[in-house]
A and B are shown apart, each in its own frame.
Chain A
């Protein structure tokens, strides 16, 4: 029974063999390359310019998809991995969006009219520094929001927490609509025409914004994957399964629930901030309950408790939703809703989740079909 040190290290937590892993990663790399080439491929196939017309429109759809994918992924970290049912996720997304929009609209013009930040060489970097400061401010604000939600989640569980989280998010929603702050937030109308710096401005620099959004989605995906595979990620899954068992091994579940909450909040907040840059606006819909429900739908559609699932769910909702809009007009959510019901009945673990459970049975069925035919 002598197990040498190297042998036990070989028994590390990576389940796949190196070859398998490489093949899996290659699929990811291929998809990434396709997404990176998408604007050019689309322009080439449709015979239009990369920066105009349908290309531009489709880049816009993809940008929304990337942002929503990150948002859905952050929600899955809570509901899918840690098992926290929260109906307040829009608070993080909208909180990030409003923080960025308010900062760019009200603070940046004042500061940049008074101060100039230059490099020793003399280059003016005021705009960049203020933009980075805006991102840090978003992180700070949504971290505080995440801690607020954690504090509630330390005391109540399950459906009761879901209701409290809904109430807290609705409070923020009401705040974003409040006429008392109409000078700053635009109340019901929201903030429009946010002065987004020219270099990242989605109307002037659509193609660049496409790559920024793609890079953002990639970085967030790698980050979340790293978290899920980390020791803390295992504790998240363990908490989802049985919190008291986690406690008896010696972990404080409250700490780990808070880590999950703050991480999910920061990721959702950054997605919200990017969304406000993309729309050059922040509106009360971004803090509303529909925004949370969208996260829930995208996650369930793709596969709860997986990382690729929410991304796929976001893709289905954004891209398929666009076709539905063309075919069915403004009533498309009705059709989408019926399909959603059918999917939940027939694919109870979402597209990815059900595939992972049933792939062998499905593969056999397909082989049988072709064998007969």
Chain B
């Protein structure tokens, strides 16, 4: 099934300092789909994205992007291979204007000119705000800019970390619509705490617990399994204990 998956992660182990954060995470992300990583706070979802991109390189395990092993490469090389990353907390460059924030993500000259129509159709606001400095934008607008920045270059895979975090409900709707539209042209690996958003978007899911992938499958099946949802994602339940 190698060629059907844009990304394959085989039991990666990542350490941050002395802490063993990921203890064997495995994922397969099929092309042109939305796959979501679920799990409680501290389960290792963000670290998984960072390990794929090489920001916190895994110590063991294999990460295969488009059939090529990428673990151990520097983050800037991995990103340049065609992985766009939208980190949590609206990670834009606040001292650069909206235009400069987008322009800096170009990998080939003219990327932005080619993509401008597409980006502005997803985020009409950004066109109006084009010349404003990033720190004049509202939280929601910054989040949109962070997503838009990942769309400037021809990325085959987008890693999106908690796009709904801190957004007003109406903006969450808008962000969901955008991500759904994106999956037509690219593949999305999403980290999302908001289960309603995640369940409406994703086709496949993985549940992380204590740095391990403990469940996986079709989102349609997970939605039926109220007990599992409660056990794995409900805040009331402490330990995982799944197999």
Asked whether A251 is an interface residue with its Cβ less than 8 Å from the other chain, the reply is yes
Q: Which residue of A lies closest to B92 (CB)?
A: A245
Chain A 223-266: CB-based contact to B (< 8 A → 1; otherwise 0): 00000000100110110111011111111110000000000000
Asked whether A2 is an interface residue with its Cβ less than 8 Å from the other chain, the reply is yes
- In the complex, chain A residues whose CB is within 8 Å of the CB of B99: 11-13
Q: Determine whether the beta carbon of A242 is less than 8 Å from that of B93.
A: yes
- In the complex, chain A residues whose CB is within 8 Å of the CB of B85: 248-249
Q: Which residue of B lies closest to A8 (CB)?
A: B116
Q: Determine whether the beta carbon of B103 is less than 8 Å from that of A13.
A: yes
Q: Which residue of B lies closest to A249 (CB)?
A: B105
Q: Which residue of A lies closest to B116 (CB)?
A: A8
- In the complex, chain A residues whose CB is within 8 Å of the CB of B103: 13, 231, 234
In the complex, A1→B121 CA distance in Å? 6
CB B178 to nearest CB in A, in angstroms, measures: 13
Chain B 93-122: CB-based contact to A (< 8 A → 1; otherwise 0): 111110110011111000011001100110
Q: Determine whether the beta carbon of B107 is less than 8 Å from that of A8.
A: no
Q: Determine whether the beta carbon of B127 is less than 8 Å from that of A3.
A: yes
Interface footprint category on B? 35 or more
- In the complex, chain A residues whose CB is within 8 Å of the CB of B117: 1-3, 8
Asked whether A15 is an interface residue with its Cβ less than 8 Å from the other chain, the reply is yes
Asked whether A5 is an interface residue with its Cβ less than 8 Å from the other chain, the reply is yes
- In the complex, chain A residues whose CB is within 8 Å of the CB of B107: 250
Asked whether A326 is an interface residue with its Cβ less than 8 Å from the other chain, the reply is no
Taking CB atoms and an 8 Å cut-off, the chain A residues in 1-25 that contact chain B are 1-3, 5, 8-9, 11-13, 15
Asked whether B91 is an interface residue with its Cβ less than 8 Å from the other chain, the reply is yes
- In the complex, chain B residues whose CB is within 8 Å of the CB of A246: 76
CB B126 to nearest CB in A, in angstroms, measures: 10
Q: Determine whether the beta carbon of B116 is less than 8 Å from that of A245.
A: no
Of the residues A3, A237, A251, A253, contact of B96 by C-beta under 8 Å: A237
Counting chain A CB atoms within 10 Å of each CB, the highest count among B104, B116, B153 belongs to B104
- In the complex, chain A residues whose CB is within 8 Å of the CB of B153: 250
Q: Determine whether the beta carbon of A234 is less than 8 Å from that of B116.
A: no
In the complex, A36→B153 CA distance in Å? 47
Q: Determine whether the beta carbon of B149 is less than 8 Å from that of A5.
A: no
- In the complex, chain B residues whose CB is within 8 Å of the CB of A253: 76
Q: Determine whether the beta carbon of B79 is less than 8 Å from that of A248.
A: yes
In the complex, A252→B78 CA distance in Å? 11
In the complex, A15→B77 CA distance in Å? 32
- In the complex, chain B residues whose CB is within 8 Å of the CB of A2: 117
Counting chain A CB atoms within 10 Å of each CB, the highest count among B53, B79, B105, B121 belongs to B79
- In the complex, chain A residues whose CB is within 8 Å of the CB of B105: 249-250
Asked whether B67 is an interface residue with its Cβ less than 8 Å from the other chain, the reply is no
CB B189 to nearest CB in A, in angstroms, measures: 14
Q: Determine whether the beta carbon of A249 is less than 8 Å from that of B130.
A: no
- In the complex, chain B residues whose CB is within 8 Å of the CB of A234: 96, 100, 103-104
Taking CB atoms and an 8 Å cut-off, the chain B residues in 60-107 that contact chain A are 74-77, 79-80, 85, 87, 91, 93-97, 99-100, 103-107
The 5 nearest A-B residue pairs measured at CB? A250-B79, A250-B80, A8-B116, A1-B121, A247-B75
Q: B-side interface residues toward A, CB under 8 Å?
A: 53, 55, 74-77, 79-80, 85, 87, 91, 93-97, 99-100, 103-107, 112-113, 116-117, 120-121, 124, 127, 130-131, 149, 153
Of the A-B pairs whose beta carbons lie under 8 Å apart in the complex, a sample of 28, sorted by A's number, is A1-B124, A8-B112, A13-B97, A13-B100, A15-B97, A15-B131, A231-B104, A231-B106, A234-B100, A234-B104, A235-B104, A237-B95, A238-B96, A240-B95, A241-B93, A241-B95, A242-B91, A244-B55, A244-B75, A245-B91, A247-B75, A248-B75, A249-B76, A249-B79, A249-B85, A249-B104, A250-B76, A250-B105
Taking A2-B117, A247-B79 as known contacts, 5 extra A-B pairs with beta carbons closer than 8 A to each other, sorted by chain A number, are: A3-B116, A238-B104, A241-B96, A249-B76, A250-B76
